[in-house]
Amino acid sequence: MSIDHLLDEEQLALVEGVREFTQDVVAPVSAKHDKEKSFPYEVIDQMGEMGLFGLPIPEEYGGQGGDYFTLCLALEELAKVDQSVAITLEAGVSLGMMPILKYGTEEQKQQWLPALAEAKQLAGFGLTEPAAGSDAGGTQTKATLDNGTWTINGNKEFITNSGTDITSMVTVTAVTGQDEITTIIVPTDTPGFTAEPAYDKVGWNASDTHPLTLQDVQVPEENLLGERGRGFANFMGILDEGRVAIAALATGAAQGCVDESVRYAKTRTTFGRPIGENQGVSFKIARMQARAYAARSAYYAAAMKIVAGQPFKTEASIAKMVASEAAMDNARDATQIFGGYGFMNETLVARHYRDSKILEIGEGTTEVQLMLIARSLGL
């Protein structure tokens, strides 16, 4: 159940296109990549061709000239069927490209954005560290500037899109002085930069996530992204937007669970009738649908504020929390409806069950969102 009246003709056409793409190209290989924990290069390549990675990027940098809301709509469609593919897009755009677009120099934008917008390359954002998660200010990676060269040392954790064959750079946050955090662009072929072996995760198996080691990594001074010392403030802005994108992704997951459950409830029969004729099942699905709808309403509202240039921080937190909980709750219910089949890894609902937990953790845990919402109330 979409909220069509809030979308214009072009957005509706895009949603339809992405839906078709998801069914034709993504769905047939999702279970395979999940099982093999392989990165879906062939899918990402076609998403690049379709312009999905360039959606909110202006045309002069090789993008599609859409906006952040449009990106969110695409994320929702993809996540109905494959959260790994959706998070690859989400991180590729909102963490990989948006920092360059927002804070980069003209030269940096020209250098990096066109190839990223076509998914010929991917970029990551190295923020989280062993001792700096929700408390991002606890960053320990250090960078020093000598004779026009940054030397960076440190470790990063859980960095999405940082180790694929097409990853070209990672923007890292580093301490550059007393209470001073700065963001610096590190091309992945720089000596001393290592993407360590991929994690063994509970879900998002086809998404590329690595710990990073930076040992005496040297990059030119001009790789500074944005103002020196503004790194913390800058990535907070990036995270706020990212939360809305994650909310869109989570809405897709929640809706994917509804769609799959409806299909199953109509075809699976027990005791001589489809299980959907039992209120024990139909009420469960009705509640799932309501959760997905509420999640969608919340992320639409937040995304529309972004596009209108209005403050959206609290809306982003609410959307992120509501949608990620909807995804997890719906995944649990859908798995229950599927019974034993829902416990089989190859089913979509089992994948959503494994994939959705991280939605309540990444881009600010539910607890961080509650903290921010409470703060907005003066508490």
Q: Which residues bind other proteins (CB under 8 A)?
A: 9-10, 13-14, 17-18, 20-21, 49-52, 55, 59, 64-66, 70
3-class SS of residue 365? coil
Residue 107: which residues within 8 A CB-CB, separation 6 or more? 222
Torsion sign, CA atoms 201, 123, 253, 292: positive
CB closer to other proteins out of 93 and 136: 93
Smallest gap from Cβ 48 to other proteins, in A, equals 10
**What's the full length of the chain, in residues?**
379
Interatomic CA distance for residues 42 and 151, integer angstroms = 36
Residue 26 sits at φ, ψ, to 5 deg, of: -80, -55
Are 349 and 339 in contact, with CB atoms under 8 Å apart?
no
Euclidean distance between the first and the last CA atom of the chain, given in angstroms as a whole number: 36
Interatomic CA distance for residues 248 and 306, integer angstroms = 14
Smallest gap from Cβ 330 to other proteins, in A, equals 25
Are 127 and 136 in contact, with CB atoms under 8 Å apart?
yes
| Number of neighbours of residue 105 by Cβ within 10 angstroms | 13
Q: Which of 77, 90, 260, 363 is catalytic?
A: 363
Instruction: List alpha helices for the chain, DSSP H.
Output: 9-21, 27-36, 41-49, 68-81, 83-90, 98-103, 106-117, 231-267, 279-308, 313-338, 348-356, 366-376
CB closer to other proteins out of 101 and 331: 101
CB closer to other proteins out of 101 and 217: 101
CB closer to other proteins out of 66 and 276: 66
CB closer to other proteins out of 266 and 375: 266
Smallest gap from Cβ 64 to other proteins, in A, equals 4
Smallest gap from Cβ 186 to other proteins, in A, equals 30
Can 363 be counted among the known catalytic residues? yes
Smallest gap from Cβ 4 to other proteins, in A, equals 13
Which of the residues are catalytic?
363
